[in-house]
Structure 1
Amino acid sequence: MTIRQTRRALAVGLLLCAAAAQAVPAFREVRDNWRSADIVVADRHGETVARVRDDFQARRGDWVTLADTSPALRTAIVLSEDRRFYAHSGVDWQGVAAAAWANLWNTRTRGASTLTMQLAGLLDEDLRARRGRSFGQKVGQAVSAASLERGWSKDQILEAYLNLVPFRGELVGLSAMSQTLFGKVPGGLDAREAAVAVALVRSPNATPLQVSKRACGILRDMKQPGECDGLDGFTALALAKSVSLPGDGLAARRGANLAPHLARAVLAQARAAAPGKPLPPRIATTLDAGVQRVAVDSLDRHLRELAGRNVEDGAVVVLDNASGDVVAYVGSSGALSGAAEVDHAAALRQAGSTLKPFLYAQAIEERRLTAASLLDDRPVNLPTGGGLYIPQNYDHRYAGWVSLRAALGSSLNVPAVRTLVMVTPHRFHRRLVALGLPLTQSGDYYGYSLALGSADVSLLSLTNAYRSFANSGAYAPARMTAVATSAPRAVMTPASAYVIGDVLADRHARARTFGLDSPLTTRFWTAVKTGTSKDMRDNWAVGWSQRYTVGVWVGNASGASMHDVSGVSGAAPVWHEVMEALHAGTPSRAPAMPAGVERVALTFDGNLEPARDEVFVAGTAVRYIRVGSTGQAQGAPAIASPANGTIFALDPDIPPAAQRVWFHADGLTGQTANAVSWRLDGKPLGKGGQVAWLPWPGRHRVQLLDAGGKVVHEIGIEVRGASVREAGPQKVSVRR
């Protein structure tokens, strides 16, 4: 190149660089525009509880201040890349002269590019080297470096450089490098780690042996040659970690991974709410990190105590009753689990006996039962489309006549199934769906087994359904972020919700099965129910206090059966411990009795159960319960079947005279059975505990009247007609 050409190129380069120099950003702008590759998920107090990888172009961590950077690393980077960093003004002219002299004699040298010039290249894409810098790029870097030195401090230049420089593979910046390669925050790097890190700056793609050799040279410059011993193996092990990790990127290598499953759920909600839009770098949730730690630690400790019983997975959910805020969300047992990535708080599992409170609440609302009503706990065979359904109690023992209070408190199965016969699977299914439970099949699909929890539910949905009991029967969705949810809607009546809560808070009611002293008993007011699914695959404990609702599930991700683990030994200890922590300084008092509920002194014939003060929905109270000659308990008469809303379809293959509908009443004794009467569409139908009716198409109102002619129960039914064919097999098709 001639002198004239050189001058022309220099003039053009200076003009280009002058324009570039004007575009040099301020330090604050660079720092504020930095974005981690992770979305940071924080609790309600701002504490980081999880990080989820969102940008897969490069792996970047948080911006690291120079004050939070290891002194060893600061020393190593200056010694290796720019010894006169604190002396020059952006361009090291002494280094330029040395490089020029070395080039003249074909001698290899470090080069004349300063840290400031390298930073200029990182800030400006046009000044960045691809395969060697052009003369114009070098001049541009020099001009930009001078501009940076005028506007930035040396510490700001070094801080920005360490956060922007690529280290190896997709690792960009000090935070990503430090935590990925060494599992440390940048402030904790020692001399050996700092030397390896700085060696990568010059040659990010070098072999481990080449990196080790260069790092050893840096250690000698740092006057620590003894650190070179064993450096080859150390470097190879560290660089092996630079390969992309599955899952949440840096989150798996940080302490801030307290709630990974909730974090993924929150991000999924955010993406669904704003499809196609970038997510904010930080998302605040309703979680409380302190409560989350209590739940994580309790689940871990109690599952370890169950070692040898084939149980390795679990989940915990804590909800604030008033707001629906998710206060804690433990999706798995972490290291104990063979499927730690599975969110067991959202996974569908068989509900077991945890559905019984909703069933009894519905029966109480419909005035079919009271908390004092006697239910027959003896073997029963129920015909179904697929044969006989024969429910059994958990311990294969039967109690005979028991009150609803004792049947629910002690979680007896047969009385629950008998209650579902009254309520019907179809109507109970509608109630469960209204409470937010994700039942995917119809009520008839589950049949009578629905009373024992044959449906699949998630821990989150089940815990939130129980929250409705704490809120006087009102349901509203739970929330993980502070966004408005739909307004609460009444699903259960306040009266029935109160009665169920009173039963589940009664340790005497559950004494038959669980004893008086168990993990279900707390030193403050709580109501709780356990559940175990078929073959001990799933184990639940869900309950509420004045302020919180807590749900716990334990089991196995594989669906394998646990060994001798019941609700009171599996999930209940975790539930108890979390509840105790929540109320360590916060009282929990029993709810006030709502309007429409009365408490009445009650005795049982023959001391069938101890005398007590019982709660009743207004108008259903009795003071004395006895078993009559027919075995039915004396109480308020009600229509047992068909259920309200039942649809009958007349079968065209059966003669009309052979298709009859039977109406049955319960709550009667031998002495009162003939005292009740029936009306259909306002006209007398018959007397007694059961009557038959020859149906005709249309919608009809059926009323049950007591001895004084007062209507005590009323339902609506519908009959759908069909043209009559020749006589065939006699059957009545009923669809509910």
Structure 2
Amino acid sequence: MKAAALLLAIGLSAGAAHAVPSFAEVKAGHKPSDVTLLDRTGMPIQTVRVDKTVRRLPWVPLTDISPALLHAIVLSEDQRFYQHSGVDWSAVAQSAWANVWNTRTRGASTLTMQLAGLLDEDLARPTGGRSVTQKLGQAVTASRLESRWKKSEILEAYLNRVAFRGELVGVAALSQTLFGKHPSGLDAQEAALAAALLRSPNADADTAARRACGVLQQQKLDCAGVVALAHGAFRKRGGMVLGEQLAPHFARQLTLGQPVVRTTLDARLQRFAIATLRRHLAELNGRNVEDGAVLVLDNKTGDVLAWVGSSGALSDAAQVDGVVSRRQAGSTLKPFLYGLAFERRLITPASLLDDSPAQIATTSGLYLPQNYDKTFKGWVSARTALGASLNVPAVRVGAMLGPEAVLSRLNALGFALPESAGFYGHALALGGADVSLLALTNAYRSLANGGVYAPVAIASPATPRPIADPAATYLVTDILSDNAARAQTFGLDSALVTPGFAAVKTGTSKDMRDNWCIGYTDRYTVGVWVGNASGEAMHQVSGVSGAAPIWQAVVRHLHDGRVSKRPAVPKGVVGERVQLAGGAEPPRDEVFLVGTTQTRWQPSGQMQARQRYGITSPRDGSLFAIDPDMPPRAQRIHFEGEHGTWVLDGKRVGEGPRLSWSPWPGRHELALVGRDSREIQRVRFEVRGAGVKTAHLSR
């Protein structure tokens, strides 16, 4: 009688039951809380959590779930799962009506009925237990599921949709969070504990272990160790899911709208770059350096092949992305200055530049540039000046161009420097601007592409545009790939040498806070930064010892089995045998822009005049004394520097690169103002009256 009434009730409620989705629709609608990133070949390389309210991992096929778990779930929840058609009528008959329909226990609820509740929120159990209407609706929906789905599909969907404990939904989240393994690896005891959590998701460890033991005893298995297993599993906190986590910083650059996102990264290269960075930083132990970053770009497409944002566990700031953080550029901006000077035909690779002591006015005071080895080379060719990374010649080239022209070229190459040219001044030639490894590496990629610039193709391909003259760019590339040109500073056997063609430049910022090594081959551009995220200075770590070995290792790895080829000589470039005055450098074959060739080179008076900048005399803090034994007309002080207006103690006293002044005692302030009315430099000096026999003192 009761069974008939039950059948009638179910039949009456059938019309109210919701439409049953297909298995394919349910699987397609599965939304993981974590997005999986794939490399360019489809290999998983990173997971990123995008839903903080629940932990739901990618859908797991039934074939990838441990047989021990399948057995434990069916045994614990629905022993007649493979015999009934959605409702286990024998279980219903053996249960009291109140227990079946009105209490909080699952009673006669089958796995299929539970799945019906998971698929339809209206059939889910509210606090206090399901209503009779909900139970009847579940039964009808379960019958429909059984008529349209396979048993394997029902079980697979159930295990991917059911909540186990806290935020953990689905067997993948459960197994990876509590047991640190994939669902395929769960053993009998772990499976029993998982089954116990279905009925008591909030149970403490001892209660869950006791119920898991009951599941094991049903299988005639030993319970020893279950209590320890439960306590250990419940102490764990949900963190990063299993699998390689190779690109956490790169993941921040992506739009994560799909559960699976294919990237341009190369997993093999990414692993190598990470390992190389960490190994080299470990070798620098004791030199106060813990951070670094590596970026590899495809020259043609702009694809990011490797993006290593930090050294990971070696760093106290592993979340800081060294690829996008701005740091002082050091000497890495010099190639763009020389390229612009070649393009404007101000100099050639054979032009002689003066590498001698000089003063440079900057926004923070007077700067006296020195070379890495603390010596000066005298007159050197532009090829040697750039290749050996000499500082004073670079400043002289920057002065020829002017800060505005330099800043404009750098911004056209994507640096997006935030300040004006006047703010940076001549120090821009020595890297007095903060740049990112991303912008710097991509700017070098423009050199690899003959002066054509395009943004990095992170999300979509970018449109290229020509920025620099291809012929002038080729001259820069030829110098940066010339091992002999950099020998004066780096030697002939440095970390910048590779088996095939590579054009490369290092840089070290003030106080050794940042090391750079950026270079390109015929196919790739590689950028490396080494330093400390905190900005703390390293101890005796330069670009050639800090970043260059990493760069060299990555380049060799990229070209393993394939030699990089030199670029073809573009139109507008010709060769000529040259001799440099004074035997400063041996005769050699040199490359020029058409119309700039010359066989013999010597310092140019016009060039020397052009190379004056700031106030060269007097120096700041100079002390002069008037000699009473000499006539006043013989005791004049000469103001020297670049062309401008001289202002002494607030009054204009003359114009030009040189001015003679008859001194009078006192403390004086001398300013040099440029043609744009901007103050170039200001110095202070003192003139002492008669009685001091020394004609000139300097401190």
Q: TM-score, normalised by structure 2?
A: 0.85
Instruction: Name the residue aligned to 2:25.
Output: 29
Does residue 1:554 correspond to 2:530, yes or no? yes
1:516-665 map, 5 Å? 516-626=492-602, 632-633=603-604, 660=655
Counterpart residue number, 1:255? 243
Distance 1:476 1:516 in 2: 34
Asked if the contact 1:371/1:615 (under 8 Å) is kept, the reply is yes
Q: Given residue 96 of structure 1, which amino acid in structure 2 is its aligned partner?
A: V
Indicate conservation of the 8 Å contact 1:625/1:635, yes or no: no
Is 1:399 matched with 2:377?
Answer: yes
Q: Are 1:58 and 2:84 matched, yes or no?
A: no
Task: Tell me which residue corresponds to 1:236.
Answer: 231
Partner of 1:422: 400
Note if contact 1:540-1:572 (Cα within 8 Å) is conserved in structure 2: yes
Equivalents in 2 of 1:647, 1:53: separation in Å?
Answer: 61
Q: Secondary structure at the match of 1:41?
A: strand
Compute the displacement of 1:17 (Å): 3.2
Distance across 2 between alignment mates of 1:412 and 1:637: 17
The separation in 2 between residues aligned to 1:196 and 1:445, in whole angstroms, is 66
- Which residue in 2 is equivalent to 1:76? 72
CA shift, 1:221, in A, is 2.3
2:288 touches 2:539 (CA, 8 Å); kept in 1? yes
- Please say if residues 182 and 238 of structure 1, whose CA atoms lie closer than 8 Å, have aligned partners that are also in contact: yes
Report the alpha carbon displacement of residue 388 of structure 1 after superposing the two structures with TM.
Answer: 2.4
Do residues 484 (structure 1) and 461 (structure 2) align?
yes
- The separation in 1 between residues aligned to 2:152 and 2:4, in whole angstroms, is 35
**Residue 149 of structure 1 aligns with which residue?**
146
Q: Give the Cα separation in 2 of the matches to 1:608 and 1:537.
A: 34
Instruction: Please give the residue correspondences for 1:318-337 in structure 2 after superposition, counting only pairs within 5 Å.
Output: 318-337=296-315
* Unpaired stretches in structure 2, ≥5 consecutive residues: 615-641, 660-669, 679-699
* Cα distance in structure 2, aligned partners of 1:654 and 1:476: 49
The CA deviation at 1:74 is: 0.9
Amino acid at match of 1:166: A
The structural deviation recorded for 1:387 is 4.3
Identical-pair percentage: 55
Q: Is the 8 A contact 2:646 2:671 kept in 1?
A: no
Q: Deviations over 1:563-618 (max 9, x none)?
A: 22211221111111111121123332111111111111112234311221111122
CA contact under 8 A between 1:287 and 1:480: conserved in structure 2?
A: no
Residues 169 and 242 in structure 1, CA contact (< 8 A), matched pair in contact too: no
Contact 2:360 2:613 in 1 (8 A): no
Q: Does 1:90 align with 2:90?
A: no
Deviation at 1:560, TM superposition (A): 1.5
Structure 1 unaligned residues grouped into runs of 5+: 246-251, 271-278, 627-631, 663-689, 692-728
The amino acid of 2:482's aligned partner reads D
Residues 330 and 655 (structure 1), Cα distance of their counterparts in 2 relative to 1, 3 Å cut: closer
Q: Matches of 2:494 and 2:68 in 1, distance apart?
A: 57
Residue 474 (structure 2) aligns with: 498
Q: Secondary structure at the match of 2:153?
A: helix
1:655 and 1:569 map into 2 onto residues whose CA distance is 51
Which residue number corresponds to residue 175 of structure 1? 172
Distance 1:32 1:86 in 2: 25
Select the residue among 408, 421, 428 that pairs with 1:450. Answer: 428
Task: Give the 3 Å change call, closer, same or farther, for CA 328–386 of structure 1 in structure 2.
Answer: closer
Q: Is contact 2:14–2:137 with CA below 8 Å preserved after alignment?
A: yes
Q: Does 1:115 align with 2:140?
A: no
Change (3 A) 1:654 1:342: closer
- Per mean C-alpha deviation after superposition, the further-off stretch among 385-394 and 423-432 is 385-394
Cα separation, 2, equivalents of 1:9 and 1:223: 36
- 1:411 and 1:596 map into 2 onto residues whose CA distance is 26
Query: Contact 1:163/1:172 (CA < 8 Å) preserved in 2?
Result: yes
Q: Which amino acid aligns with 1:91?
A: V
Q: Distance in 2 between matches of 1:116 and 1:521?
A: 67
Deviation at 1:434, TM superposition (A): 0.9
Deviation at 1:159, TM superposition (A): 0.5
> Per the alignment, do residues 110 and 364 of structure 1 end up closer, same or farther by CA in structure 2, a change over 3 Å counting?
closer
Q: Alpha-carbon deviations, 1:683-709, whole Å to 9, x = none?
A: xxxxxxx99xxxxxxxxxxxxxxxxxx
For 1:81, the aligned partner's letter is E
TM-superposed deviation, 1:64: 0.3
- What per-residue deviation string (whole Å, max 9, x for no partner) do you get for residues 1-43 of structure 1? xx99x9999756543334426x111111111111111223222
Contact 2:329–2:433 (8 Å) recurs in 1: yes
- State whether structure 2 residue 436 is matched by structure 1 residue 439: no
Cα shift at 1:112 = 1.1
Contact 2:358 2:369 in 1 (8 A): yes
CA distance in 2, matches of 1:430, 1:484: 25
Kindly report which structure 2 residues correspond to 1:717-732, keeping only aligned pairs within 5 A, or say none: 732=673
Q: 1:408 aligns with which of 350, 361, 386?
A: 386
Whichever residue aligns with residue 574 of structure 1, its letter is I
SS of 1:501's equivalent in the other structure is: helix
For 1:79 and 1:472, how far apart are their aligned partners in 2?
Answer: 69
Amino acid paired to 1:545: T
Q: How far apart are residue 233 of structure 1 and its match?
A: 3.5
Could you give the per-residue CA deviations for residues 299-352 of structure 1, whole angstroms, max 9, x where no partner exists?
Answer: 122222222222221111111111111111111112222222211101111111
Matched ranges for 1:661-676 at <5 A: none
What SS does structure 2 have at the residue aligned with 1:225?
Answer: coil
Q: Work out the CA distance in 2 between the residues paired with 1:385 and 1:213.
A: 74
The answer on whether the counterparts of 1:654 and 1:731 sit within 8 Å (CA) in structure 2 is no
Displacement after TM superposition at 1:498 (Å)? 0.5
Letter in 2 for 1:239: F
Which residue, 158, 181, 184 being the options, matches 1:184?
181
Quick check: 2:643–2:655 contact (8 Å CA) kept in 1?
Answer: no
CA distance in 1, matches of 2:114, 2:645: 84
SS of the residue corresponding to residue 344 of structure 1 reads coil
In the aligned structure 1, how far is the partner of 2:277 from the partner of 2:442? 20
3-state SS in 2 of match to 1:327 = strand
Task: Give the letter aligned to residue 461 of structure 2.
Answer: A
2:63 to 50, 62, 67: 67
- The correspondence for 1:468, drawn from 423, 428, 446, is 446
Contact 1:212 / 1:232 at 8 angstroms: preserved in 2? yes
Q: How many Å apart are 1:527 and its aligned residue?
A: 0.3
* Counterpart position of 1:381: 359
Picking from 110, 133, 137, the partner of 2:134 is 137
The equivalent of 1:125 in structure 2 is 121
In 2, Cα distance between equivalents of 1:571 and 1:50? 26
CA distance in 2, matches of 1:215, 1:242: 21
Amino acid at match of 2:14: C
Are the equivalent residues in 2 in contact too, given 1:61–1:175 (CA < 8 A)? Answer: yes
- Rounded to whole Å, the distance in 1 between the matches of 2:380 and 2:76 is 84
Q: Deviations over 1:148-196 (max 9, x none)?
A: 1111111111111000000111111111111122221111112222222
In structure 2, what is the Cα distance between the partners aligned to 1:141 and 1:427? 75
CA displacement at 1:281 relative to structure 2: 2.7
How many angstroms apart in 1 are the aligned matches of 2:362 and 2:93? 96
Does structure 1 retain, via aligned residues, the 8 Å contact 2:506–2:518? yes
Question: Which of 198, 205, 215 is equivalent to 1:201?
Answer: 198
- Cα pair distance change 1:107/1:386, threshold 3 Å: closer
Give the Cα separation in 1 of the matches to 2:358 and 2:134.
89
Alpha-carbon distance in 2 for matches of 1:306, 1:642: 40
Aligned to 1:298: 276
Q: What SS class does the counterpart of residue 236 from structure 1 fall into?
A: helix
Q: Distance in 2 between matches of 1:18 and 1:180?
A: 41
1:341-371 CA distances to partner (integer Å, 9 max, x unpaired)?
Answer: 2111011111111111111111222222211
- Counterpart Cα distance in 1 of 2:129 and 2:361: 85
